[in-house]
Amino acid sequence: MTCKFKVRWSRWLAIIVVACLVTLRINSWGNIPSQASDKEQLLSQDVSAVWAKGSFPVENFQSYTSPFGYRISPVTGERQFHNGLDLAAPRGSYVRSWWSGKITNLSDNTACGTSITIQSGDWQHVYCHMEGYVSDSSKGKFLLDREGGIQFTLGQAIPAGARIGRIGMSGRTTGPHLHWVLKYNGDYVDPALVLKEMFKRQTVS
């Protein structure tokens, strides 16, 4: 993590901790799947010692617009499982990779819109609704957001904190935001729990 990033974190600490606590309070009403307690235990064990190396995924962050868990869909009006955390920011704001890893999927033809999936050991992180598009070339599949200066290819290594896209409205969405999904060994994890651990490590480091 660069010094510049640590400075950027300091501007968001108050917003992040309050929003995370609100999100966790909402999810404590029964919205998190039954395995959530196992995830909380996971986050508090050995792996939590390195949370401070992670990157907050959105520049110009404004608010959390929808927590992880079951909710009423703003599109269909039906109850559904929301597998990630929605982070609102002005359209065009940069999205950063939460952790270092390797790009394992690029897509722009689902409800997730233009998206990138990164594998970091046992962790998988997905970023949805971004600007740009996905196409193929002689070098393989790539994601391109020319205006934002973003171009990545499938299989490329990505460092933590790298700009990997920009906030957009691709796919199924009612406003500009990042839909951020986390999985550990194939199981969904509430990103708010991860941000909470990251905040704790930032305050003690």
Q: What CATH number should be reported for the domain holding residue 77?
A: 2.70.70.10
pTM assigned to the model? 0.77
Q: What are phi and psi of 17, to 5 degrees?
A: -65, -40
pLDDT for 122-142, tens place per residue?
999 999 999 999 999 988 999
Structural domain harbouring 200: 3-204
Q: Which residue has the tokens 């171009």?
A: 151
Structure tokens at 82: 């929301």
Task: Count up the domains in the chain and report the number.
Answer: 1
Residue 156 contacts by C-beta under 8 Å, 6 or more apart in sequence? 102, 103
pLDDT for 141-199, tens place per residue?
999 999 999 999 999 999 999 999 999 999 988 899 999 999 999 999 999 988 988 88
**Nearest residue to 99 via CA among 47, 64, 141:** 47
